[in-house]
Amino acid sequence: MASSTALSLCMIVKNEERNLAACLESVRELGPEIVVVDTGSTDGTISIAADHGARTSSYDFGRIDFAAARNQALAMAQGQWIMVLDADERVDAESIGLVRQLSSGAENVGYYFERVNHYPDPDPATSDYVVRLFPNRPEIRYRGRVHETVEATMLSSGGRLLRSGIRIHHNFAVDPEARRRRNLWYIGILKEEIAADPTDHSRLTFLAAEYHQLGMFAEATEVAEKIALLRPLDPEAHLHAGVYHLLFKVDLKRARQDLLEALRLKPGYPEALSFVELLREKESGDASGPGGSSQT
């Protein structure tokens, strides 16, 4: 149960001695309780955590389950609010005040942080949004053995999800072969999860993403098609299926069907409109080429 402590930083780690100190230093001004669950480190990770005043425990990763490890950290936390970071992330110094402000409230709200992903040169940084701050309530827990998320239980507890102005920096420095092995590993686990619970469509979304990262676009397209069938009223699902048919496993007729369905469900959908324009350019180019066909 949460105590009078305002904020608990909850982390799971393994062999993060190169990253952990910088992560913990980035939140030092907040003075959070620090809870670290270790999944099998063989380096100095635990010593670094202890040097920063962390409460630590271990989790047996014999069966891979990132959600269970994160939930162990959440169960240990005593703060009124939970903040979650990975060891290779750090909070932007200009966001500290906003973290402090939001974690002083009492609303049942989960907050998205902007995560800026920094790659080795010359690749440019990219951004995505992840829920990393939420109330410490026993019903709010992570789900998913890999690509674990907290959003579903946040919403089922009656809470809301809002985008904040908080920014974190993520150093994405995995070598290509290690990333490929991890993609394949995650695909295997995701398939196990889908077989165990076919109703959890979030697993399919992550499966498509893993195939995409491996350049397995035919497989990614097949999964995107399945998601669109399972979510007939979801414009984003139709958008993604349309984009795959437009750019990766090219079928312009199918792309048009999906993109127009996304626009029917969400009139004025900016992303769908932009891809429809690209579709028209492709159709025009095909029509003017040999044979005049608009179907590839």
Per-residue model confidence (pLDDT) at position 1 = 45
Say yes or no: 78 and 139 in one domain.
yes
> Is residue 212 in some structural domain?
yes
Strands 160-171 and 126-135, how do they pair? Answer: unpaired
Q: Identify whether residues 124 and 223 lie together within a single domain.
A: no
User: Global pTM?
Assistant: 0.82
Q: How far apart are CA 100 and CA 231, in angstroms?
A: 38
Q: What is the pLDDT of residue 207?
A: 96
CATH number, domain at 254? 1.25.40.10
111 lies in the same domain as 257: no
Tell me how far CA of residue 3 lies from CA of 15, 78, 137, 172, in angstroms: 30, 5, 11, 35
Q: Give me the pLDDT at residue 4, please.
A: 53
Whats the size of the chain, residue-wise?
Answer: 296
* Dist. CA 295–CA 250, nearest whole Å: 9
Q: Cα(86)–Cα(77) distance, rounded to whole angstroms?
A: 16
The C-alpha atoms of residue 153 and residue 138 are separated, in whole angstroms, by: 10
Look at residue 82 and tell me if it is in a domain.
yes
Comparing CA positions, the residue from 281, 262, 282 lying closest to residue 273 is: 262
**Residue the block writes with tokens 């995107």:** 224
Q: CB-based contacts of 112: which residues, under 8 Å, 6+ apart?
A: 129, 130, 131, 132, 161, 162, 163, 164
Residues 22 and 143 in one domain: yes
- 27: nearest Cα among 43, 14, 11, 12: 11
Q: Domain range holding 127?
A: 7-171
Amino acid at 194: I
The per-residue pLDDT for 89 is: 97
CA distance 197 to 272: 30
Query: Which position has the token pair 């492709």?
Result: 282
Query: Is residue 128 assigned to a domain?
Result: yes
Q: Which of residues 145, 171, 197 is at a domain's end?
A: 171
Q: Considering the domain boundaries, does residue 135 fall inside one?
A: yes
In a domain, 2, yes or no: no
pLDDT of residue 173: 67
pLDDT of 93: 97
Same domain, 192 and 64: no
Whether residue 155 sits in one domain with residue 212: no
pLDDT along the chain (296 residues), means of 10: 76 96 98 97 97 97 95 98 97 98 94 93 88 97 96 95 97 81 94 92 93 95 96 96 95 96 96 95 72 40
pLDDT at residue 292, as a whole number:
44
Helix (H) or strand (E) run with residue 112 in it: strand 109-118
What integer pLDDT is reported at residue 291 of this predicted model? 46
Nearest to 201 by CA among 164, 159, 151: 151
Same domain, 209 and 126: no
Which CATH number covers residue 82? 3.90.550.10
